[in-house]
Structures are given as structure tokens and as C-alpha cells.
Structure 1
Amino acid sequence: MPISTGLKKKLSIYPCNVSAGTISVDKSKTPFEAMINPASYKHQLKIDYSTKKSLGQSSAEPKFSAISPEVLSLPELVLDGTGVVALIGMESVQTLVERLLSVIYVYEGDKHEPNHVRLLWGSFIFFGRAESISIDYTLFKPSGEPLRAKVQMSFVGWMSKEEDTLRANTSSPDLSHLVEVKVGDTLPLLCSRIYNDSSYYREVARINNLTNFRNLEPGMQLRFPPLV
């Protein structure tokens, strides 16, 4: 079994550029590297469901709506200014905090917003933006200058417009639809297909000003609004 050599890989946070729907590391800027790797991180993935109930239903079956952006949480990142941790050189805690914030938080004048970032730790890669930052100062010099800080951070994932479109449910009942009637289509059937509930046919008939919804003519356009 081969023996691994070299220093342990550190969590690194790189500022990024977003252009034409793609994201890339901004090589003109310096990334932030953790002094001590976090003991844990939480990677949250979430799926949104619609629970719209029909009249008379006691409960509603959850129906897929969309995939939410991923969230990465770092419960504790230690910044040490005592010199105990640093292998080469030493920076004050205040300098370390400023360097971290310059990457993930500080407003960029040319972009008119904070940076998008890439978090890299071993084989784990996460693209996103800082959502919340909390800094807890825990050790001080007699002068009051902080010697240690614990930083909690959460990042919301970045997704290209193309990926967002692919992940979105284009037949969601929360979107408007313009449907061309085909031979054999009925209004209850179309409502069942779009809303998974045929009982909405009267409301759709009213919105489309249909006086005789039982006789739909092939080729006519019907609007199916979002459910509210």
C-alpha cells in the first residue's frame, strides 16, 4: 500500500467570476486557505413540493414543484493568531478575518455584489455564495485584541440558468400553460394532466370564457393558470 506524503489538504475558498451562464475561478485574486480544517460540514439538498388541496380533500399528496439550491454549512472554522497553529509566518486574527471576508462577503464595486466562490476540500467542490456569516471571538490579549475566532458560515449553491431550467418542472401547476386542444381532449382530462386534479375544469372554463366546455374544438388554445 503506497504511503501518502506531503501536507494535508486544506479547505480553500476561491473567488469566482460568472459570465454567460458559466462560473470560473478568478485567478487574479488570492484565495483564502483555512489554518485548521473544519471538524465537519453539512451539505443540504432540498426538494420543494406543492400540497395544494382540492375541495373536499382531507389531505393532499405532495407534488413535485422544484429542486431548491443546495446549501453548505460550516459550523466552525477556527482562525488562530497565537502562533500555535501557524507553520509558516503568523497573521493576526483581525487580518485573517479581513482576508476571509474579502473573498466571501465584501461588496465588489465592479460586480455590484459580493463574490461567487468555490469551496475546495480534497475531492469536495462546491460553487455558491455566502448566505450567512457569524464570527465568535474567544481569546484576547490584555489590550483586547482578539487572538482566536470561530467562524460559522453557510453558502447557497450556484446553478447555471441552463441547469436551473433542466431541473425545473416545466409542467408544474405553479406555471402558466397555453395548451392546444387535440382530438379527444376534454377539459377535465386536460386539468387532470396539468394539475393532477380534474375538478379544476370549471375554473379553467371560466378563465377561458368557455360557454360549452364539453365540446372543445381541436386547434383551439386554452390557458391554464397557476394554482393559487
Structure 2
Amino acid sequence: MLELSQKAEKLYVQAYRDAEFQDQVSGNKFNALINPATYSVSYKFEFDDTQAPGTSGANMKFNRILPGDFNFDFLFDGTGVVKDMSVLSLGIANPFEKPGTVTEQIEDFKRKIIDYQSDKHRPYYLKIHWGELLFKGVLRQMDIEYKVFAPDGKPIRAIAKCQFVESIADVERAAQENRESPDITHERTFGGSDRLDLMTEKIYEKNSYYIQVAEFNSLDSFRKIDSGSKIYFPPLAK
């Protein structure tokens, strides 16, 4: 259990202008008033379930991994009861400090996190930090639920239910995937100990395409290939 003098780490969101998360937007860091009690992460996979007529089942052929979703709630409070969770001062209000209204807090969140970048023609990329958590993505959806109201009807407490979706720059994604799919053209440098049929089998998971590969590269022979030659392996015909 944390002591009252021990500082708790706050969840925060930092905005970036670029997909590589290098161009940080100065001043666009939003700290959560209270750390979430829970958050959820979902992973989705897409398969081709095409089934031939007259069959009793289908071979689920993998298609792609969809971007992951990250969901949690932000609390906005204008009562003055909720103060700084970084010192665990929940419920200890400063009577001399006037808290920002819920509307002001939400507008600050929108300005820092979801405002449209006119020069980029898109909202910001976002990093979410909290302890060991580091999530890179964009805000897909935000639903605001107003919970408590003053006598004049102004909201004094609200919860923003946020859904973020993972975003990976093309360069980083290509490095992670290692681009070994048979559905794209591959370039390989032929070594002195290499064999075209074995190289073909590694890429296509079949060595029966080596003749087509030799023809595609205009090779006179698939057995006599000069070391250092560039060999191209085209996509398989669908």
C-alpha cells in the first residue's frame, strides 16, 4: 500500500504530428485527473472463411492482423473534491483554489488530443504512458457521459469513454513483419553455395516454382548462376 507521501505515477497522453512519433507537439501533454481503475486491450485477426459448395467445413486461411484497440475512461471533475492523485489527495479540497469547470477541462482535452491539424489534414498521433504501459495510436471514438450537475444545469462531473486504435508507421511495420510473404516480389543475392530450388522453397514453401523463377529472371540455366547475381521472386498468381 502506498504511503500518503509517496508519489503515484499519473497516466498521461502525449500528442505527435507524425506516424513515427518523432515530432512531439510541445505543450500537448494531457494528464489524467485520476488513473483508470481498469483498461482493456483487444486484438483482432481476420481470416478468409470461404467454403466450397458441398463441403462440411472451411479451412480458415489467415488474412491479416487488425490494429489493436485500447479502451479506458477519463474523469473530468469540477467539484473541487478530486485534487491531485499524484499525492493521493483524493477528497482533500483546497477551499482557496477554484477548479476548472468540466467544460473547460473537456475543451483542454480536445485541444491537446483530438484537434484537427490543418497542415496535416488529420488529428494527432498519440502515445499513452502509464507505468509499464506504452500505447501508440490514435483516438477512434470518444463518448462523454455527464454525471453530476449544478443547480443551474452546468455539468460538474463527466466521464469520457475513449477508444484508441493502434497505429504503426509503415517502416516499423515492414521491419516487424520482415516482409516474407509470397504475395510480394522479393530480391535475393545469389551466393556460391545457394540453390535456386531451395531459395524458391523458402519463399513460396514449395520448390516447384524454381523453373518459373528462372524464366522470370531470364536465366539460361537454373543450375549455373553466377555468385552475386540478383534474383527476383515474383508474387504468386492468385
Distance 1:4 1:226 in 2: 64
Structure 2 CA distance for partners of 1:222 and 1:129, relative to 1, 3 Å: closer
Distance 1:112 1:149 in 2: 29
Q: Deviations over 1:43-87 (max 9, x none)?
A: 223343344556768321433x3333222111x322111111126
Q: Deviations over 1:96-142 (max 9, x none)?
A: 11011112221122332111111111221111110000001111112
Q: How many angstroms does 1:147 deviate by?
A: 0.7
**Aligned pair partner of 1:79 in 76, 79, 93:** 76
Q: In 1, are the aligned partners of 2:79 and 2:156 still within 8 Å (CA)?
A: yes
Distance 1:3 1:147 in 2: 29
Is 1:125–2:134 an aligned residue pair?
yes
SS in 1 for 2:22: strand
Distance 1:227 1:53 in 2: 20
Q: How does 1:1-228 map to 2 (within 5 A)?
A: 5-18=5-18, 21-27=20-26, 29-52=27-50, 58-63=57-62, 65-74=63-72, 76-86=73-83, 89-168=98-177, 170=179, 172=181
Q: In 2, are the aligned partners of 1:127 and 1:157 still within 8 Å (CA)?
A: yes
SS in 1 for 2:147: strand
Q: How many angstroms does 1:148 deviate by?
A: 0.7
Count residues in correspondence.
212
Q: How many angstroms does 1:169 deviate by?
A: 7.2
Distance 1:166 1:38 in 2: 33
Q: In 2, are the aligned partners of 1:66 and 1:167 still within 8 Å (CA)?
A: no
Letter in 2 for 1:81: G
Percentage identity across aligned positions? 26
Q: Deviations over 1:14-57 (max 9, x none)?
A: 111327x4535323x24111111111111223343344556768
SS in 2 for 1:46: strand
What value does the CA root-mean-square deviation take over the aligned residues?
A: 4.3
Letter in 2 for 1:58: G
- Structure 1: which 5+ residue stretches go unaligned? 179-183, 187-191, 206-217
Structure 2 CA distance for partners of 1:22 and 1:92, relative to 1, 3 Å: closer
Q: In 1, are the aligned partners of 2:139 and 2:165 still within 8 Å (CA)?
A: yes
Q: In 1, are the aligned partners of 2:30 and 2:113 still within 8 Å (CA)?
A: no
Distance 1:77 1:108 in 2: 23
Letter in 1 for 2:59: A
Letter in 2 for 1:123: E
Q: Deviations over 1:168-202 (max 9, x none)?
A: 47454765789xxxxx999xxxxx988879xxx9x
What is the TM-score normalised by the length of structure 1?
Answer: 0.68
What is the TM-score normalised by the length of structure 2?
Answer: 0.65
SS in 2 for 1:68: strand
Distance 1:71 1:147 in 2: 29
Structure 2 CA distance for partners of 1:225 and 1:146, relative to 1, 3 Å: same
